[in-house]
Amino acid sequence: MKHFIITLCLLSQLAVAQSKPALQTGAEQTNLYLPSLRGKRVGMVVNQTSVIGRRHLVDSLKSLGMTIKTIFAPEHGFRGQASAGDKIADSRDPRTGISIISLYGKNVRPTPQQLDSLDVVLFDIQDVGVRFYTYISTLHYVMEACAGVNKPLIVLDRPNPNGHYVDGPVLDPKFKSFVGMHPIPIVHGLTVGELARMINGEGWLAGSKNCPLTVIPVKGYTHQTAYDLPVSPSPNLPNRQAILLYPSLCLFEGTVVSVGRGTDKQFQVIGSPNPKNGSFQFTPVDKPGAVNPPNEGQVCYGLDLTKTDARKQGFTLKYVIDFYNKAADKDKFILGTNFIDKLYGSDQLRLQLKAGVSEADIRKSWQPALDAYKTIRKKYLLYP
């Protein structure tokens, strides 16, 4: 009888597991978008994350007889190997011979002439759900270009690995830049498809134009679904831990503190030559994907966050505040370009650090705008 009960339990668990739909990205559901591509001249905004299984989407669509005319490449390039901030040149894909047009060089958006030879544009890039991650800036400019010439855009949606919460200050439009284009919080809680709907719906495109938009949703996904990315989204976000810590640690990019670029623990360690930061030590070196990293060749003292429960912790300012308070020269802690203002979305963090404001009080200062954003966000959600 005992074995019979155990067998029934196992069968019941198997039935429950089988009843849950397997997660399928937008790209994997070819039956939903191939009819819109057949016989059309297709442009694709893609990079190394644009895959179906282990095969690149470009290769998959070509094998299915689609006519791929142009590849548009975002920051880090088509194959995702360029360092952050490196300008990408136009080129040609040696594997397929398709022309590659950079959207992270002299142009950030497709030109009307480049779109004129296309019938439809396909966007499929894995995002990480953070305002200053520039793939969503590329999305904005592609939508704007398509809206300008009434060219249809299909977004193949993918899960947001930081989509389980919403937090942080909402961007002040006065601080709009390529690392922050929309009045959304640092952790915005949207997939690329949902954000595209918001950009359209809130009239954020130039001239309040509307992009002819179709979103192919992810099947079997909710915002609480934990998702491990099958492909690294960029050279310095190598794993799940780095992606979860990224919202909190990227603010250090506007300071003298290293976030581990030039090591094998990018966005999982923080430190500077100041021994007061902590006992953990690392030395950044020049390497592919991290050319001339901050504090190159210097021993950095700080913290190893590889074992931190980053998903439970969420977005926090505690690391920035702690390192600022320990800085030997607080006037030199923040880099003179005030890049931290662009990352944060306003000058408030810089001013509040100098004033000694606590994290709790900093959070109170952004809460009203965050609450208003959460109300707007509900209108554009595709997933529970």
Does the structure show a pLDDT above 50 at 8? no
Q: Please give the distance of CA 168 from its chain centroid, rounded to a whole number.
A: 15
CATH 3.40.50.12170 boundaries in the chain: 26-229
> Which token pair is 384?
């529970």
pLDDT band per the 50, 70, 90 thresholds, residue 20: low
Q: Is the pLDDT of residue 233 over 90?
A: yes
Exposed, middle or buried, 69 (CB in 10 Å: 0-12/13-18/19+)? middle
Q: Which residues contact 271 (CB under 8 A, 6 or more apart)?
A: 257, 258, 277, 278, 280, 281, 282, 295, 300, 301, 302, 303
Residue 82 has pLDDT above 60, yes or no: no
Task: Kindly report, residue by residue over 42-73, the tens digit of the pLDDT.
Answer: 999 999 999 999 999 999 999 999 999 999 99
Nearest-10 Cα torsion for 331, 335, 338, 342: -130
What rounded mean pLDDT belongs to the chain? 93
Does residue 245 sit in helix, strand or coil? helix
pLDDT digits (tens, 9 = 90+) for 264-294: 999 999 999 999 999 999 999 999 889 999 9
The confidence band for 84, taking pLDDT boundaries of 50, 70 and 90, is low
**Would you say 161 and 129 are in contact if contact means Cβ atoms under 8 Å apart?**
yes
Give the pair of three-digit tokens for residue 176: 């709009």
> If pLDDT is split at 50, 70 and 90, which confidence band does 86 have?
low
The torsion angles phi and psi of 170, rounded to 5 degrees, stand at -85, 135
What's the confidence (pLDDT) of residue 89?
A: 74
CA angle 227, 133, 311 (to 5 degrees): 35
Closest to 60 in 3D by CA, of 45, 69, 70, 50 = 50
Per-residue confidence (pLDDT) for residue 80, from 0 to 100: 55
Is 3.20.20.140 the CATH number for 26-229?
Answer: no
Identify which of 76-85, 86-95, 338-347 has the greatest average pLDDT: 338-347
In the predicted structure, residue 249 carries a pLDDT above the cut 70: yes
User: H/E element holding 375?
Assistant: helix 359-377
| pLDDT for the residue 87 | 65
CA distance linking residue 153 with residue 33, whole number of Å: 11
- Decide: 128 and 5 in contact? Cβ < 8 Å: no
Q: How far lies 269's CA from each of 227, 282, 317, in Å?
A: 22, 8, 15
Q: Which residues pair with 177 in a beta bridge?
A: 180
Rounded CA gap, 156 and 27, in Å? Answer: 5
Of the CA atoms within 13 Å of residue 186, those in its CB half-sphere come to 26
Whether the predicted pLDDT of 16 surpasses 50: no
* pTM for the model: 0.92
Q: Evaluate if residue 11 carries a pLDDT over 90.
A: no
> Is the pLDDT confidence value at 12 over 60?
no
At position 348, the amino acid (one-letter code) is Q
Q: Which of 197, 173, 178, 116 is nearest to 383 (CA)?
A: 197
Cα–Cα distance measured from residue 237 to residue 250, given in angstroms and rounded to the nearest whole number = 11
What mean pLDDT is predicted for residues 203-232?
97
pLDDT band at 15 (very low <50, low <70, confident <90, very high): very low
- 282 has which bridge partners? 300
Q: What is the mean pLDDT of residues 294-302?
A: 98
Residue 177 in contact with residue 136, Cβ under 8 Å? no
Helix (H, G, I), strand (E, B) or coil at 312: helix
